[in-house]
Each structure stands twice: as C-alpha cells, then as structure tokens.
Amino acid sequence: MKIMSLAVYEETEKEIDLAYKELNKTKIEKETSYILSQLIMVMMGTFKDRLKSITFDTHDLYFDEVFITSNKNKTALLNWLKRMIGMYHPIDDHEFGKLKVDLEEWYYQIGGRDIVFEYRDTYLLKPKETAEILGVSTVTLNKYVKRGFEYIPNSSQNRIPKHMIYLWKDPVYAIKVQMLFQEKKLRNQTPEERLKEVIKELLEFQMKYGAEFHKDAFPELDGDEINAIADYYEWEDLEEEYLELKQKVYGERKNGK
C-alpha cells in the first residue's frame, strides 16, 4: 500500500523548508500538526494487525515553541516524511517497536503529555511466555517492568507487546524506552521523590555487580563491547541523574523552597 504520493511528499517537504526559512511559527505549528496527524493515521492503517488505536488529548497538546522552531524539529519532520513513504514495505516487530518509541519520544518533545497505544490481543504475549523467550525469571521480568518494559494492565492474560522482546535486546532502544518511562513518571513526581527512586535503583546495580560505580563494574569494556551492555548505559545515566537531582533538591532546601 502506497502511503503518500511523490507529489504530496515533495510539496510537504517544500512547505516545511519554507516555514523554517521564514521562521514562521504559525506555519511550523501547522506542518508539525499535519505530520503528527498523518503519521498516526498511516500507522493505524498500515499496522492494523498490531494496533487498535493511537489516541492523545488534542486539548492537552500545547506546542513547545522552543523545540518546534528548532532545527531538531525540522529534521524530525523531514525524517517522518521519509519514514511514512517507506511504510508500505513490510515491517517486522523490531522495526515497528522502534517506530512506536520514536513517535512517542517526538510527541513529548513537541509538547504533548500523554499518548496511548492500544494493541490487538493477538499482538500481546503472556508475561510467563515473555520471560521464557528472554531467558529470565518472571521475577526479573517484573523488575524490567518497573524500569519501563512495556506492560499493558488489561483484563486479558496477554500483556506484553511483541516488539518489547526485540527492543529490550537493542542497547539503544532499551535505554530509550527506560528514559521515556522515567520522563513520564517525572511529570507526576517531585525532584525529591525521583531522587529517592534513583538512589534505590543505583543500590540495586551496586549490589548486583558488587561495585560502587558503573566504571568499576565494567573496567575492561570499551567501544563496541560496551554497546552490548544495556546495564552499563542505564547505570551511567542514573549516576548523572543522581548528581543533577541532588544539586536541585539540596539547592531548593538551601533556598527554603
């Protein structure tokens, strides 16, 4: 199925380029809204064997002016155009998962708050089945869920989207999934509440590897070897987040906030 004609693609590309060349905020908002709506419509039509719906509250979408007028958003818009053109090719669960995560990340970047993906029951796996495929216990899988492993709290026994099997083995997207999860949590958490969680998560890594810092746990790893270890990157990110949160929380206390 062809998603977008070449003529529409080229015209939209020109409109995006012109909007940013003129630094026209109204036009940029219009093109961002257009790409978002087209993307959701195309995904729901193309992946109806996986998706029931993609929903978000249009009344709760206030564009982040700084981000949408940036070159980063311009690049994102042009990339989404190209990806939509290629969606008529068969896409496996891994690529679909990456597409879903990238859309979710971009949606939050442009100013969105909540976007909900509803999957077909046939696209969901049982937790026990998922744990067996990953080669871990259900206890470990529950720990993954607490770190952001996608889990659908429905009335069915099938609760894990199939793409999570592949994303969790993908170092880049495993971290991306967890970062998005934490960002969503932060919307409803104070810095102090999040700091307590980070300390707890750091302690779990320290006990697991018997080391205080991530570099002590992986002293001989570098380059491509490190890319295979999601724990390394997550631990590193947690250490950075800990320092930022500690400075923020202690600063607020010092200033009497």
Q: What tens digit of pLDDT does each residue of 35-69 get? A: 999 999 999 999 999 999 999 877 768 899 999 99
**CB neighbours (10 Å) of residue 164?**
25
Q: What's the mean pLDDT when you consider all of the chain?
A: 89
Task: Please state whether 135 falls in left (phi above 0), alpha (psi between -120 and 50) or beta.
Answer: left
* Least confident among 16-20, 143-147, 149-153, 252-256: 252-256
- Model confidence at 221, pLDDT cuts 50, 70, 90, reads low
Q: What confidence tens digit (pLDDT) does each residue in 152-181 have?
A: 988 788 999 999 999 999 999 999 999 899
Count the neighbouring beta carbons within 10 Å of the beta carbon of residue 219: 8
Which of 150, 159, 87 is closest to 123 using CA atoms?
A: 159
Q: Helix crossing, 93-109 with 171-186: angle to 10°?
A: 40
In this prediction the pTM is 0.76
Instruction: Report d(CA 176, CA 112) in Å as an integer.
Output: 17
Average pLDDT over residues 87-111: 93
At residue 221, what are phi and psi to the nearest 5 degrees? -95, 135
Residue (of 33, 162, 42) closest to 110 by Cα position? 33
Give one word for 185, left, alpha or beta, with left for phi > 0 and alpha for psi -120 to 50.
alpha
How does DSSP classify residue 121? G
Of residues 21 and 60, which shows the higher confidence score?
21
State the burial class of residue 255 (Cβ atoms within 10 Å of its Cβ: 0-12, 13-18, 19+): exposed
**What are the tokens at 242?**
């800990």
Out of 135-149, 167-181, 224-238, least confident range: 224-238
